[in-house]
Structure 1
Amino acid sequence: MSLWKDIRKDFSITRESVYLDHAAGGPIPRPVLEAIQQFQKENAEGADFFWLDWMRRRDEARQTVADFIGAEPEEIAFTSSTSHGMNLVAELVAQEGQVLLNESEFPSSTVPWLWRKAQTAFQPTEESRVSFETLRRSLTPEIKTIVTSFVQYGTGQRQDIGAIGRIKGDRYFAVNATQGFGVIPIDVKKWNADFVCTNSYKWMMAGYGGGVLYIRKPLLELFQPQGAGWRSMVGCDLMRNKNLEMKKAGERYEWGCPNFSAMFGFAAAARYFSQIGMNQIEKRVLSLTDYLIARLHDKKIQVLSSLDPTERSGIVVFEKKDPVKVWQRLLAKKIYVSPRGGGLRVAPHFYNTEEEIDNLISALDAAA
């Protein structure tokens, strides 16, 4: 308990509010804020005199993120969002054959494919669940790409990404990892995923405007990007305006001057989480959601999220009449959750406490 009490000091948001909304966006902890502020201070005081040091730290950030998910640094591209990452994936394989999506996905997983007029098939949900067996049966010869989320934003259902990776065959496999990235340990190699994308601002709590895309190394060699910029090219610092020799690593998707603030923030978050331990973080978050579910059951409130231990995540959705009105009343008390999935969605992180969940339950009683 002392570990989490000490860690809680890194989160200034805890002084005046109960924040249980990390599936929407996360507060920036002190070590991440310091990394971001260091860059901004350097930019203010030295501008491009820091350029070489920033580029060195960019390479270190790429290595840190790669280590965090079991990838190689050459397989990592920094992006601006999950949507940006998924668009980069779609531009590579949208026309390779039919794309399997599902009806529970957040639009960042679906719009990039639909916009490119890819042939798509939508797997139906079954009692708000994305069924593995239904997915398996949906893998007809026409399906060439599988797209799904690690954790579904509207229900909190965790999918067995490794199991999908084992049955994908010669298909491409793209994972929107956003709602599990920073809560549950990720190993992209064990997943057998071809593409994994996420953002910086939800569970990673690294601020807005950043993201990461993993592309499996053989696919970097197989596909050429449709978009490019001057920093996509070998020898870009020579600024040859007719040079079209493309870099072979993931950084070729970083077209122009780097978003150092987002990169350094993301890497600082990955270091911070790694120091705590991702297994510890997962255990802590699941303990908090266990406690929340028990309190909801005590109050006879129906939990809409799956209670199957293999499908649990950091998200719990429960039934509530007039969820938007209740949400507004909670906001007035500085208790932050979201109306999602036909009810209210609660998404605690490792620094939250059982007492804060008790405060939520008490406020629900008052808002009834």
Structure 2
Amino acid sequence: MDKLRKGFPVLKNYTYLNTAASGLLPEKVFEFRQDHDLDFLVSASVLKEKQGEVLTEVRETVGKFFNCAPERVALVPNFSYGFNTLLEGLEKPKKALLIKNDYPSINWPVESRNFKCFYAEIDAHLEDNIRVALRKHQPDFFAFSIVQYINGVKLSIEFLKEIKKEFPETIFIADGTQFLGTEIFEFDSTGLDVVISSSYKWLNGGYGNGFILFNENVTGKIQPKHLGFGSLQGKYKAHEGNFIGKFEPGHQDTLNYGSLSVALKLLQTTGMDKIEAQVQKLKDFSKEKFSELGLLEDFVVERKEHSSIFNIKGDDKLFKFLRSENIIASQRGAGIRVSMHYFNTVEEVEKLLQVLKSRR
């Protein structure tokens, strides 16, 4: 376990149960960022001449990590930029299916445009609710979080594979920001059309970088309109009007995208199998203990599939007390959200439990 925690100095100062808000910056990523900016300081445009090579390497690293061909990987600064660019490339009006109370960066951009919106309710039967809504409304696209940001409710990849087969004409657009980095994920085997993700949470890539993974069949259904000098620069953007280039106009930030590449390589070195096993251990233990104390919503306890994000019952006083004990969490919805990544331990969860019991 000490090996898994090595390289995250924050863990020496806090019981950090807040990756769902902001992932930790690994020392290796910090060192890369220092070296990059030092190179820029002393070489300026000489460094930037290598931008195409750097971005090609990042794209290939992302593609390899998530099993998606690099020519179907777009590099974007964050989820919202990529998602809004994609929405502008969809013909209007169209019918959209959303999950009620999903992350605002998903629902708000759809609702603010000329789409007719329908919703699936989040409860113990979320999967059934989605299936019923898809059958009833026959939406042109379904935009959703794989893991819900408030309470950690998770849609299994197996369910998504199954439901996509039933509705092949609906464009499935998934937000992976609260999911990618917690378990092995092979995009091409899922059947999903689009997965968009920021990298500052579970991938520990820092801010200012993200990516989009595209199914090879989706490009004709989306017509993005953004264009700029950067749209034609690089190994995978050789021709005018190419698809991923329309998500990458202008000069790209080699500091931030390079940080993503370093972060993914660190996860690879650690081993996604080990990371998945540790996250599974933590979420199983946490769910059992939180359930015993009556800290979770009933429908969350009922559900078989869940993430390592939990919204526990607690008010502002409890939140401030946790912070006084150097336990870092977030206030979300009506409770306190805690989240565990692979560098966390059962002992840290037990410390949280002891503090919670002392306040009852």
Alignment equivalent of 1:88, drawn from 67, 85, 92: 85
Match of 1:355 in 2: 347
Match of 2:295 in 1: 302
Shift of 1:72: 0.9
Tell me the matched-pair count.
352
Q: Is the 8 A contact 2:226 2:246 kept in 1?
A: no
Q: Does 1:191 align with 2:190?
A: yes
Q: What one-letter code is carried by the residue in structure 2 that aligns with 1:261?
A: L
Match of 2:127 in 1: 132
Cα 1:301/1:307, change in 2 over 3 Å: closer
Shift of 1:253: 1.3
Q: Tell me, in whole angstroms, the C-alpha distance in 2 between the residues paired with 1:58 and 1:130.
A: 42
Shift of 1:49: 1.0
Q: Tell me, in whole angstroms, the C-alpha distance in 1 between the residues paired with 2:120 and 2:287.
A: 29
Shift of 1:141: 5.7
Cα 1:64/1:342, change in 2 over 3 Å: same
Q: Tell me, in whole angstroms, the C-alpha distance in 2 between the residues paired with 1:152 and 1:13.
A: 25
Q: Is the 8 A contact 2:16 2:329 kept in 1?
A: yes
Cα 1:38/1:134, change in 2 over 3 Å: same
Match of 1:155 in 2: 151
Match of 1:79 in 2: 76
User: Could you say what secondary structure the match of 1:196 adopts?
Assistant: strand
Q: Tell me, in whole angstroms, the C-alpha distance in 1 between the residues paired with 2:172 and 2:20.
A: 23
Cα 1:326/1:225, change in 2 over 3 Å: same
User: Could you say what secondary structure the match of 2:89 adopts?
Assistant: helix
Q: Is the 8 A contact 1:288 1:353 kept in 2?
A: yes
Q: What one-letter code is carried by the residue in structure 1 that aligns with 2:351?
A: N
Q: Which runs of structure 2 are paired with 1:17-28 in the superposition (5 Å)?
A: 17-28=14-25
The CA deviation string for residues 49-92 of structure 1, in whole angstroms up to 9 with x for no partner, is 11233421211110010111111111111112111121122112
Match of 1:176 in 2: 175
User: Could you say what secondary structure the match of 2:217 adopts?
Assistant: helix
The CA deviation string for residues 255-289 of structure 1, in whole angstroms up to 9 with x for no partner, is 11111122111111111112222222121012112
For structure 1, the residue ranges without an aligned partner over 5 or more in a row are 237-244
Q: Is the 8 A contact 1:220 1:248 kept in 2?
A: no
Q: Is the 8 A contact 1:288 1:348 kept in 2?
A: yes
Q: Is the 8 A contact 1:136 1:167 kept in 2?
A: no
Q: What one-letter code is carried by the residue in structure 2 that aligns with 1:181?
A: L
Alignment equivalent of 1:329, drawn from 301, 321, 328: 321
Q: What one-letter code is carried by the residue in structure 1 that aligns with 2:349?
A: I
Cα 1:7/1:141, change in 2 over 3 Å: closer
Cα 1:135/1:178, change in 2 over 3 Å: same
Match of 2:104 in 1: 107
User: Could you say what secondary structure the match of 2:300 adopts?
Assistant: coil
Q: Tell me, in whole angstroms, the C-alpha distance in 2 between the residues paired with 1:94 and 1:152.
A: 27
Cα 1:167/1:310, change in 2 over 3 Å: farther
Q: Tell me, in whole angstroms, the C-alpha distance in 1 between the residues paired with 2:151 and 2:117.
A: 23
* Seq. identity, %: 25
Q: Tell me, in whole angstroms, the C-alpha distance in 2 between the residues paired with 1:190 and 1:341.
A: 34
Aligned CA RMSD, in angstroms, stands at 2.2
Q: TM-score, normalised by structure 2?
A: 0.90
Q: TM-score, normalised by structure 1?
A: 0.89
Q: Tell me, in whole angstroms, the C-alpha distance in 2 between the residues paired with 1:159 and 1:313.
A: 9
Cα 1:208/1:186, change in 2 over 3 Å: same
Alignment equivalent of 2:247, drawn from 225, 238, 253: 253
Q: What one-letter code is carried by the residue in structure 2 that aligns with 1:357?
A: V
Shift of 1:175: 0.3
Cα 1:17/1:38, change in 2 over 3 Å: same
Match of 1:119 in 2: 116
User: Could you say what secondary structure the match of 1:143 adopts?
Assistant: coil
Cα 1:7/1:235, change in 2 over 3 Å: closer
Q: What one-letter code is carried by the residue in structure 2 that aligns with 1:39?
A: H
User: Could you say what secondary structure the match of 1:218 adopts?
Assistant: coil
Cα 1:165/1:32, change in 2 over 3 Å: farther
Q: What one-letter code is carried by the residue in structure 2 that aligns with 1:60?
A: E
Cα 1:79/1:189, change in 2 over 3 Å: same
Q: Is the 8 A contact 1:234 1:247 kept in 2?
A: no
Q: Which runs of structure 2 are paired with 1:333-348 in the superposition (5 Å)?
A: 333-348=325-340
